[in-house]
């Protein structure tokens, strides 16, 4: 690990990820585990959020209590698979703003093609966490972050379930200012751009499609 990449090393995450990797895991089980892992990853990626204090009354007395400072976070889901992580993240931080960006990977070139984008108007003033379960070639993440920078986002992080060494390297080269958090760094990409050993196509497994 370096300043650009954080592999969240936690026994619960490792265990749940193993359950997700199993090809026998049902759609319902996969989706449920993804939400659970999203909770744990969100806990880690938000560890250094700034705090301030406000005066509150407990049942016993008045005190200065810690609360999050500044504007609320914005989670940006790369469609469609990003929504699986997003659901768990919003459960943990229900006041966060949410954006969506649609990307699909051209099967011949493996390049990312954008087809949809909807963001909060004031995204430039918010910390932004971009989410997609897989950082494979890195093309979708790179293109999404490039678009977000163009519309004013400056405080960006990327969160994924699995990453490949190739995807991490591509992200670091394209966006060295955007740190990456992941549950696991897998071995490699295959000739079709899939992470190995991986867990298959996250979107298909989440929604029961092929």
Tens place of pLDDT per residue across the chain (210 aa): 567 999 999 999 999 999 999 999 999 999 999 999 999 999 999 999 999 999 999 999 999 999 998 888 999 999 888 998 999 999 999 999 999 999 777 777 767 778 888 999 889 889 999 999 999 999 889 999 999 999 999 999 999 999 999 999 999 999 999 999 999 999 999 988 889 999 988 888 988 887
Of 108, 109, 182, 190, which residue is the catalytic one? 109
| Per-residue confidence (pLDDT) for residue 101, from 0 to 100 | 94
Catalytic residue among 21, 35, 97, 204: 204
Position 130 scores a pLDDT of: 97
pLDDT of residue 21: 95
Burial class (CB in 10 A: 0-12, 13-18, 19+), 28: exposed
CB 86 within 8 A of CB 31: no
196 has catalytic annotation: no
Candidates 21, 35, 97, 105; catalytic one: 105
Which residue carries 């092929």 as its tokens? 210
Q: Is 190 a catalytic residue?
A: no
Q: Residue 103 has what pLDDT?
A: 78
Asked if residue 99 lies in contact with residue 118, where contact means CB atoms within 8 angstroms, the answer is yes
Q: In this predicted structure, what is the pLDDT of residue 203? A: 84
- The pLDDT assigned to 38 comes to 95
Q: Yes or no: say if 118 and 63 are a contact pair by the CB < 8 Å rule.
A: no
Q: Which of 52, 201, 205, 209 is catalytic?
A: 201
Q: Facing residues of 79 across strands?
A: 102
pLDDT of residue 114: 81
* 205 is known as an active-site residue: no
Residue pair 205/199 in contact (Cβ under 8 Å)? The answer is: yes
Is the previous residue joined to 197 through a cis bond, with omega within 30 degrees of 0?
yes
Given its phi and psi angles, is residue 193 left (phi above 0), alpha (psi -120 to 50 degrees) or beta?
A: left
Tell me, what's the pLDDT at 12? 95
Unique residue bearing structure tokens 């400072």? 69
Angle between helices 27-45 and 11-21 (to 10 degrees): 150
- Catalytic residue list contains 201: yes
Look at residue 115 in the predicted model and tell me its pLDDT.
86
Model pLDDT, residue 125: 85
């Amino acid at each position: 690990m370096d300043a650009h990449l954080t592999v969240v090393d936690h026994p619960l995450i490792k265990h749940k990820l193993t359950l997700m990797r199993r090809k026998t895991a049902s759609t319902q089980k996969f989706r449920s585990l993804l939400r659970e892992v999203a909770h744990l990853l969100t806990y880690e990626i938000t560890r250094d959020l700034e705090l301030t204090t406000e005066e509150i009354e407990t049942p016993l007395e008045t005190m200065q209590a810690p609360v999050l400072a500044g504007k609320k976070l914005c989670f940006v889901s790369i469609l469609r698979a990003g929504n699986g992580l997003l659901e768990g993240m919003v459960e943990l931080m229900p006041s966060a703003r949410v954006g969506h960006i649609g990307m699909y990977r051209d099967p011949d070139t493996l390049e990312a093609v954008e087809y949809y984008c909807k963001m909060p108007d004031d995204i430039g003033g918010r910390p932004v966490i971009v989410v997609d379960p897989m950082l494979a070639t890195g093309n979708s993440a790179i293109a999404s972050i490039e678009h977000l920078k163009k519309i004013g986002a400056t405080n960006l992080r990327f969160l994924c379930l699995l990453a490949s060494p190739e995807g991490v390297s591509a992200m670091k080269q394209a966006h060295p200012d955007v740190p990456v958090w992941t549950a696991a760094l897998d071995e490699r990409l295959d000739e079709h751009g899939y992470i190995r050993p991986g867990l298959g196509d996250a979107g298909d497994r989440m929604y029961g499609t092929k």
